[in-house]
Each structure stands twice: as C-alpha cells, then as structure tokens.
Amino acid sequence: MREVDGRKQLDFEDPEGQRLALVDDGGAGPSHPWDRSSVPEVYQIRGLGPITAAA
C-alpha cells in the first residue's frame, strides 16, 4: 500500500502478469453495487476508473 496524489493505492499483478491497482476514491462519485454479491456494499469495488497505458 502506498499513497499517490493523496489517495491510498494497492498495486498488484494478476496471474498473467498484468499490472493493476486498486485506488481509494474516498467514496466520491457514483457507485454501482451488485445486490447479489456476498460482499457487503461498503466493501465492494465501486467501479472502474481511468486506464493508463505504460511501456
């Protein structure tokens, strides 16, 4: 976990080596919870943000 531009960010790689990050948005903006999830709404991923391509 690290802080980037004042937001907490968790960087990781998926099993295929794709680099990804989960970023805390502080609850800003709309969310689209999945009502059939076993994960409580407060802990669900809120959505997909911008994509950054880097070489």
Mean predicted confidence (pLDDT) in 8-23: 93
What's this model's pTM, rounded to 2 decimal places? 0.67
Is the pLDDT score of 21 beyond 80?
yes
User: What's the pLDDT at 38?
Assistant: 96
State the SS3 of the chain. Answer: CEEECCEEEEEEECCCCCEEEEECCCCCCCCCCCCCCCCCHHHCCCCCCCCCCCC
Question: How would residue 17 be classed by pLDDT, with cut points 50, 70 and 90?
Answer: very high
Higher pLDDT, 10 or 27: 10
Question: How would residue 9 be classed by pLDDT, with cut points 50, 70 and 90?
Answer: very high
